[in-house]
Chain A
Amino acid sequence: MSKPAPKTYITSGHSGCAGCCDAFAAKFTLMGAGPNCIVVNPTGCLEVMSTPFPLSSWQVPWIHSLFENAGAVASGVEAALKALGKKDDIKVVAIGGDGSTMDIGIRSLSGAFERGHDFTYVCMDNEAYMNTGIQRSSGTPFDASTTTTPPGKFSFGNQRPKKNMVAIMAAHGSPYVATTSIGYPRDMMRKVKKGTEIVGPTYIHAHAPCTTGWGFDTSKTLEVAKLAVETCLWPMYEMENGEITQVRKVKDPRPVEDYLRVQKRFKHLFTMEGGEEEIKKIQATADWNIKHFGLQ
């Protein structure tokens, strides 16, 4: 018998898609953080699907302000708890998508980390603006098709690699930065729990495949998440005070094709002339990850 799963604090009945990655991410985050927390959630699918007034799926106190200010709102929540003498008992957890974290919200998040507020930020990275209809963000991987990076005569899709957000957050001097994936719930819960227990600003970057935006069957969310890890395109590691302290090994890395082939956003790489060369470039990224993070 495996251990029973911890209780979570987001209810079913929300309007997320079948197989929604945000629902998984929120569920695992709260399983790790526990009930004694205040959640800050920037604008995105999670906020829309979980709080259609007068309903709410949240069984913990929750605040949504804007798209680009979760870092600052969390700073204020933390400062108020301190001023009112409640900080020792209550954790502050922010949870946002890649757009609100890596793009429009990076100023406020950077400020909050530089100032050293005691909170945990969880980025649910589904690699594009899904709530607005699958537009490219700085989390979108190389060659992915989105509605603003469509492949065409002169393009294989998104022209740039993913922004290395984890390195940016580590560079702020954060005591704890980790990557995880919703494909590995226990890993994610453990890292969120650890993040909330460490004093100071901690950052968890969770890879989160989106059934709608990436184009795969709604039953395959966790499978696709695992494929990203097994192909070494999503390395899972922890950094404490700037040093990598733990890496999840991948014994027999699978070719990136196994991951790309199951997603419509990469379909063009298998049909367009020159696609093979592009897949080689993506394999090179995985190979670099294997070497850089010592995944094998």
Chain B
Amino acid sequence: MINPAHKGKMVVVEGSYAVAHSAKICRPNVISAYPITPQTHIVEDLSQFIADGEIPNCEYINVESEFSAISALVGASAVGARTYSATTSQGLLLMHEVLFNASGMRLPIIMTVANRAVGAPINIWNDHQDSIAQRDTGWIQLYVEDVQEASDTLPQLYKVAEDNEIMMPGMVCMDGFILSHVYEPVVLLEQELTDSFLPAFQPENVLDPEDPKTFGAFAAPDTYEEFRYLQEQAMQKALPKIEAAAKEFEEVFGRFHGGLVDGYKLDDAEIIVMSMGSILGTIKDVVDQYRARGEKIGVLKVRSFRPFPVEQVREAIKNAHAVVVLDKNISIGTNEGALFTETKSCLYNSKIRVPVMGYTVGHGGRDIRAESIAKVIEETKKAAKSGISVESQFLDLREELL
């Protein structure tokens, strides 16, 4: 919802510009990136800011691969620099090994992922397969719904990630093209307000000859497990901090996009549609039509996929008659999308007994039309009455191509 007080401050810019501007306002010290569609406009805009001297105390490294983009930030973050990158798809997959490394070394590197499908077949359009494939790397993952949220979430994520009790890297996942290339009215982050919201990065441990420390030591079986445990503890501690950062952001900026989750017409909802990212806008439109007819349909937006907000999801869906989860990804071999699997998993050992259905949708940028979402809701209504017939399936398959 647009805050009426913000209308005068809104400008129409490309999503990538809003994100680049937000990254600039967060005062990064080192930016390192490699161009890949549809992330390119973000790094082009940042390069222009650098060329114009608009980011003080910042070095921009034009690396030779995504692997080096994120590796350079490992070194930079360990020195105590605030770091930023942006990537997508194949580039994010190329970073995979380093993602584990950054998290294991507890370096709060932040990046924007302009979500895109992965090959083969090669495809440049949006789905969530790239970032979902990174879910076990130990990175905080926040999925955003629109350009304003993509922009506003960056300082929130820096605040959480750089908290001395957290010290975990994080990614803001925004839908490639749909959000990165769309022109929308947004409020661009103000420097003064952002400075009051986001303190300077002051890590306890840095690489400094005055006080030499060893980063990335070798851990044998007698010590390795505790490192993993502490990463998990940090993620659990991040849950309330993500909520708190979103609320504090609202106090300072007057905008709120949800904390760990966000509900839309949820209070009395009998059927709940769950998803992540820009598809939520379409879902809300369809739900509005149902509501106009007096049908009790609601929407649960999952903003934080890592850490996964088990309690908040349980609380949000406990009174529903049936839940349907739309995933722009699939774990091949399970016939399920990741959010669907997580949602079922968080209910199993609870007392909540709600049928949950899954659809894996929008692969490689296929449009998800309002009619398709209505079809999904109709199927979910049937499941609420007479049980689930198909637990998880593809949506809008073109049978004639098979």
Contacts and interface: CB of A to CB of B under 8 A. Distances in A.
Nearest to A38: B207
Contacts of B76: 76-77, 79-80, 83
B268 interface: no
Interface in B84-140: 97-98, 101, 105
A247 interface: no
Contacts of A76: 30, 32, 61, 71-77, 79, 81, 83
Interface stretch (A62-70, A151-159, A276-284): A62-70
Interface string A41-58: 000000110011110101
Task: Give the interface SS of chain B, mostly helix, strand, loop or mixed.
Answer: mixed
A75 B75 contact: yes
A58 B216 CA distance: 12
Interface string A76-120: 111111111110001000000000000000011011101100000
Contacts of B223: 53-54
Interface in A18-65: 35-38, 40, 47-48, 51-54, 56, 58-65
B212 A69 contact: no
B63 A72 contact: yes
Size category of the binding interface on chain A:
35 or more
Contacts of B219: 53
B61 A52 contact: no
Given A76-B30, A80-B79, A108 B98 contact: no
B209 A90 contact: yes
Contacts of A78: 75
Nearest to B56: A83
A201 interface: no
B150 interface: no
A40 B75 contact: yes
Size category of the binding interface on chain B:
35 or more
B218 A38 contact: no
B57 A65 contact: no
A79 B30 contact: yes
Give the most central of B30, B32, B72: most A CB within 10 Å: B72
A73 interface: yes
Contacts of B77: 76, 80
B16 to A, nearest CB: 23
B217 interface: yes
B218 A81 contact: no
B29 A84 contact: yes
A135 to B, nearest CB: 20
Given A79-B61, A115-B62, A65 B217 contact: no
B75 A107 contact: no
Given A35-B209, A60-B209, A73 B81 contact: no
Nearest to A74: B75
The 5 closest A-B CB pairs, nearest first, are A76-B75, A111-B64, A76-B72, A72-B71, A72-B68
Interface of B: 29-30, 32, 57-59, 61-65, 67-69, 71-81, 83, 97-98, 101, 105, 207-209, 212-220, 223
14 contacts: A38-B79, A59-B212, A75-B68, A75-B75, A76-B72, A76-B75, A76-B77, A78-B75, A80-B29, A84-B79, A110-B64, A111-B64, A111-B65, A112-B68
Given A72-B63, A72-B71, A75-B75, 16 more contacts: A56-B217, A61-B209, A62-B215, A63-B75, A65-B74, A73-B72, A75-B32, A75-B63, A76-B77, A76-B81, A79-B76, A80-B80, A83-B58, A90-B209, A111-B64, A112-B68
